[in-house]
Structure 1
Amino acid sequence: MARVSALRLTRRLGTRALASLAAPPLALLAGTSSASAHVKWFCAYDVAGQPRGLEQVLCADFEWLAGLAILCLMFGCLAEGSPLGGALMNALDRVTTRIRTDTELLVRATLGFFFVSLWGMGGIILTPELKTDVAWIPWFQLGLAACLIWRRTMPITGAGIVFLFSFATAQYGVFHLADYPVFLGVAVYLICQGLGLKPFDIRPLDIVRWTAAVTLMWASVEKWAYPQWTDPLLAAKPQMTMGATPELFMQAAGVIEFTLAFALIWTPLVRRTSAIILGAIFVSAVFEFGKVDAIGHSGIIVVLLGIAADDARAAVRMRDAAWAPAYYGGALAIFLALYYVGHEALYEGFAGLPVI
């Protein structure tokens, strides 16, 4: 009886600790939910326009924000390797049991809602800003929704997503579709789950997790490169900035999104916590921006639920925390370079590479 009571007490403490750990970040990030709405869905944009120079992006405020983000990652690693981290993981496992068991079903149901909604809206390829006049595209997407009813036909939906992604790339260009590699990850997930495949011994959920991380890290760089795209939203809803200047707000929103996205490929507890926070941010943005945001982000929200419920464990050592600055800095440098050099190559022909 004593052991049972002790076990119950441990579980309660783990659950309470999980709630206390999640509450402050959620409260802090609630104000940045508006920045998580995809700006291309609501404001005018020009992908071919000149992005803000790196010398303006990499300013003192940016460096302080990035340094704080690194400290948070290191703290997360250290906490994960402690008894508290184990209790939090156990609590998460218990709370998300049903989601973990039904992850595939949730993905199929959510994507079915997504494709039926696109059929109802009409004239859209995968996301709201990818417009098309091709009459058969909405019906094709409705057919993809129907294929999600049966597990055996899930690979057809996956292949259809790859086709739509390729079709949109031909219409809008590679750089524009670099915003959405998560669609390819979801397509691979559907194909692998439907056929029972595990390519290179990698779980399908891990594949979609990596593509979600890449998608959000790329989107965060866009916040730094084109903060002016969000000016109309900030002018209409000045409370979003919480008293900060629009420039500082967009820098902070980008760093927060990049850090949470990077955390999706970090240690188990860190990535699960990140998925919960990101999911809460996306859901709160729906209340601010309505059904377009709900439809557009439904796919990534269900992916984040699956990541939050994933009970895969891995040993976390002190060196993981020590390596956090190098990995984070490397990822930041790679995505900034890819964005700016890629933009220069596609739209300027290397006429003048950005100077750091």
Structure 2
Amino acid sequence: MRLLGKKDGRFLPALALATPISLALTAEANAHVKWFCAYDVAGQPRGLETILCFDFEWLVALALGCLMFGCLAEGTPLGQALLNSLDRVTSRIRTDTELLVRATVGFFFVSLWGLGGIILTPELKTDVAWIPWLQLGLAACLIWRRTMPLTGLGIVFLFSYATAQYGLFHLADYPVFLGVATYLILRGLDVQPFNIRPLDLVRWTAAITLMWASIEKWAYPQWTDPLIAAKPQMTMGASPELFMQAAGVIEFTLAFALLWTPLVRRMSAIILAAIFVSAVFEFGKIDAIGHSGIIVVLLGIAADDARAAVRTRDVVLAPAWYAASLAAFLALYYLGHAALFGGGGTIPVI
């Protein structure tokens, strides 16, 4: 278990007292590292005994405190006033959520057609000539509401094709694509199976995508070393290891918050969207294209005016559900990696 150094000791209070600044600087760590740096999915991830150290526990405790504070505030007049204000500010986005999704996904596929040689995300390369043209056709299908389901089915096909080429573990980074596909299919057909809203389905897949990505920050922090070397100021004086732990905890907590109470998930969506948008200014058009889909989904979540009464158990059970989710994603990541790539004997018993 690593003890805090002097620099790290200064960083943790800074994280607690300057959360907006830390979120802004963490935006660079939230650029999808596989799009810009060398990576090896089959390589052995960092051991859990290294990840689950005192620094990690301190950061998780801080994150849980923020989450519970948000839940407590939501049940107060201040929380209701914030919800009412969000309803007014985001009314146009809420009215046009489907249109925004169609326009953004259309932009995404036209951009992939223009770049060429890409299946859904920048690191999924292909030399199959018809894939860019298929993606252009999927963009065209978004012009009419009746043909939206064809785009959704096309996304499912491309996701399956990429999985066959790159493996299930690699595509586990991107379940949000399946959520967007489901959203387009259900909205195009105007159905709600089991009375579940399409926006809720895509919200859950976005949360799963980001929680999985946060595990990768802990398992392979060395992938981000070139970015940190190029921009050392992003660590705010902390060691790269501690910075990546903090970036992962922030991302996991905000992703988990997307599954929680209305105000908490809407504020989380706003913060995440701001992080992704700010990363675009650092990493350019590839980041803008790659993250456009999840940004528009987050805007839709931020504008969602569905209300639910905040109960005491929402506050009390938040730590338990958070811990269960964290344990489940760590287990899925490490056991899944061991099953697909071997090395199960290296997984420590915690």
Q: Judge same fold: TM > 0.5, yes or no.
A: yes
Residue of structure 2 in register with 1:257 after alignment: 251
SS at match of 1:128: strand
Distance 1:28 1:43 in 2: 22
Q: Paired residue for 2:79, among 66, 77, 85?
A: 85
Distance 1:199 1:36 in 2: 33
Letter in 1 for 2:121: T
- Give 1:351 deviation, angstroms: 4.1
- Give 1:185 deviation, angstroms: 0.3
SS at match of 1:36: coil
Distance 2:20 2:205 in 1: 24
- Give 1:349 deviation, angstroms: 6.4
Q: Is the 8 A contact 2:215 2:329 kept in 1?
A: yes
Pairwise CA RMSD of aligned residues? 0.9
Residue of structure 2 in register with 1:342 after alignment: 336
Distance 1:155 1:336 in 2: 34
Letter in 1 for 2:242: L
- Does 1:354 find its partner at 2:336? no
Residue of structure 2 in register with 1:148 after alignment: 142
> What's the CA shift string for 1:302-321, capped at 9, x where partnerless?
00000000000001022211
Aligned length: 333
Residue of structure 2 in register with 1:179 after alignment: 173
Distance 1:138 1:354 in 2: 44
Q: Is the 8 A contact 2:87 2:305 kept in 1?
A: yes
Q: Paired residue for 2:54, among 60, 63, 73?
A: 60
Distance 2:346 2:282 in 1: 39
Distance 1:26 1:315 in 2: 28
Residue of structure 1 in register with 2:289 after alignment: 295
Q: Mapping of 1:51-130 within 5 angstroms?
A: 51-130=45-124
- Does 1:206 find its partner at 2:200? yes
Letter in 2 for 1:91: S
Q: Is the 8 A contact 1:125 1:137 kept in 2?
A: yes
Q: Mapping of 1:8-87 within 5 angstroms?
A: 25-87=19-81
Unpaired segments ≥5 residues, structure 2: 1-17
Distance 1:103 1:307 in 2: 9
Distance 2:280 2:94 in 1: 24
Q: Mapping of 1:160-171 within 5 angstroms?
A: 160-171=154-165
Distance 1:305 1:25 in 2: 21
Q: 1:349 to 1:55 in 2, by over 3 A?
A: closer
Residue of structure 2 in register with 1:313 after alignment: 307
Distance 1:32 1:349 in 2: 31
Q: Is the 8 A contact 2:48 2:347 kept in 1?
A: no
SS at match of 2:124: strand
**TM-score where L is the length of structure 1:** 0.92
Q: 1:342 to 1:354 in 2, by over 3 A?
A: farther
Residue of structure 2 in register with 1:268 after alignment: 262
Distance 1:75 1:111 in 2: 35
Residue of structure 2 in register with 1:218 after alignment: 212
Q: Is the 8 A contact 1:77 1:270 kept in 2?
A: yes
Distance 1:93 1:352 in 2: 50
SS at match of 2:123: strand
Residue of structure 2 in register with 1:247 after alignment: 241
Residue of structure 2 in register with 1:229 after alignment: 223
Residue of structure 2 in register with 1:325 after alignment: 319
Q: Is the 8 A contact 2:117 2:132 kept in 1?
A: yes
> What's the CA shift string for 1:177-203, capped at 9, x where partnerless?
000000000000000000001011100
Q: Is the 8 A contact 2:44 2:343 kept in 1?
A: no
Q: Is the 8 A contact 2:74 2:310 kept in 1?
A: yes
Letter in 1 for 2:158: L
Q: Is the 8 A contact 1:25 1:277 kept in 2?
A: no
Q: Is the 8 A contact 2:110 2:135 kept in 1?
A: yes
Distance 2:42 2:339 in 1: 11
Letter in 1 for 2:155: I
Letter in 2 for 1:354: P
**TM-score where L is the length of structure 2:** 0.94
SS at match of 2:154: helix
Q: Is the 8 A contact 1:111 1:299 kept in 2?
A: yes
Unpaired segments ≥5 residues, structure 1: 1-23
Distance 1:29 1:185 in 2: 26
> What's the CA shift string for 1:150-190, capped at 9, x where partnerless?
00000000000000000000000000000000000000000
Structure 1 residue ranges (4+ consecutive) displaced by more than 3 angstroms after TM superposition: 24-28, 349-354
